[in-house]
Amino acid sequence: MANSILKDARRLLEFGSGVGIAIGSTDLEAVVARVRPPGVRVLGRLVIAGFEDRPAAEWGAEYNSFLKSTGSSHLSATVLLPRRDVVVRQLALPGVPSGDLEGAIRLQIDTLHPYGDDEVVWGWSPLPYGNVLLGIARRAAVERYVELFAAAGIAISSFTFPAAAVHAAARLNGIPGEAGFVAAGPTPAGTVEVYGESPSRPVFSAEFAIAPERAAALALAELRLPPETQPVTLEELLPRPTLNPVDNDLSRNALPYATALAGACPHLASLANVLPREFRHSRSRALIVPTAILAGLALAALIGMIVWPKFEDRRYLKTLEAEIARIQPTAAHAAALDREAERLRARTAFIDQYRGRTRADLDALNELTRLVEPPAWTNAVELTGDTARITGEAPQAAPLLKILDSSPLFRNSQMDMDQHAAGGTGEMFQIHATRGKS
């Protein structure tokens, strides 16, 4: 119940809009996403081909026109840097307070990258169990992109990398399974983007130029997950949009969409940002006032929906208990009558059975008188509820077994004693048989 309430409350906080821009080898791909509690709506997708070979002002105007057409001109973009420009590390910092994590990273940052004396910039986001996800880039490379986007007139709020973007975007679906998973999807370059999480490795992200099945197998081994674990697609890992343009094929490239989601709701999942603070364009707080008001009203409505049923349940329970107390004596009397009726039925059945037994015994004696014909004779007949035992003398005792089994009143006849009678006049026998047919 508590988890369900927390999940519903978290869903009410899913308010925001974001623009994700993925830098490809030759193209830029931009996606605008609007996140609301009912679902995600993708407002548009734009591909800017050959951006580095064109004047920045030209494709910047194309981009800003695209934002205006989607009603998103006020948004600053979250940019997904190429994997080649960012070194990704995972650090284990158990026991370090959350407020001291950045200082702890800063102390060892020079040992975590291969750039030597080159100045670097970095950003991080927290992971479970005292781990952090860290991205490091050359400052010169980042500033080159900053100058490029500034020349194009594009406002940028963050530079991030694939592992951080997918990790943050997946949290809009709730926390993924604790047992671990692997997700894979194609990229425009023809490679396979793989992302996974497991208890032994909080985040794994890589790009492979091999078959998807082989890439998933390598990721499972890296994450120490069972080989039979079925991979999902990146599209399945991310929230499914309720509205999505036809040209935004998530099965072809889901990373721009994930970047837009990560930038839309940074309050729900921290996003590693390697862009230095002096270059970040923050959004106007006034723009989020209506969203905050709506979120507050929705939260109040949710609390009312949670509290009112409990109040109604308590009131109904009191009414029900009073009604039970009123009819309890009548119910107890009815139960006593039922027990008495059951006792009388059992007694009647016993008497009927006793009466029927006398008749059955007489029928058995008549049948034995018919079956054991002279010169055979009996000197003792013992009848119980399910057995008949006969003692007597006959010229030949063995045939009597077959004669008894031929009767509908006896079966499974067996000879208990068979010996010659004194004087040699016949055979003395004792036979027992089961009463009734099987």
Q: At what angle do helices 56-69 and 139-151 cross, to 10 degrees?
A: 70
The verdict on pTM exceeding 0.95 is: no
CA distances from 360 to 243, 363, 372, 386, 409 (A): 83, 5, 18, 11, 9
Q: What is the mean pLDDT of each run of 10 residues along the chain (438 residues)?
A: 54 85 94 92 95 94 96 94 95 90 94 94 92 96 96 96 95 79 92 94 94 94 94 93 89 94 88 94 54 71 79 86 88 88 86 76 85 86 87 87 87 86 80 80
CA distance 256 to 176: 20
**Beta strand ranges found along 316-435 (DSSP E):** 377-383, 387-394, 410-420, 427-435
- In this predicted structure, what is the pLDDT of residue 9? 61
Residues 6+ apart with CB under 8 A from 218: 194, 206, 208
Distance spanning both ends of the chain, measured CA to CA:
59
User: Which structure tokens are listed for 425?
Assistant: 């006049």
CA 105 to chain centre: 35
Instruction: Assign 327 to helix, strand or coil.
Output: helix
**Amino acid making up residue 317:** L
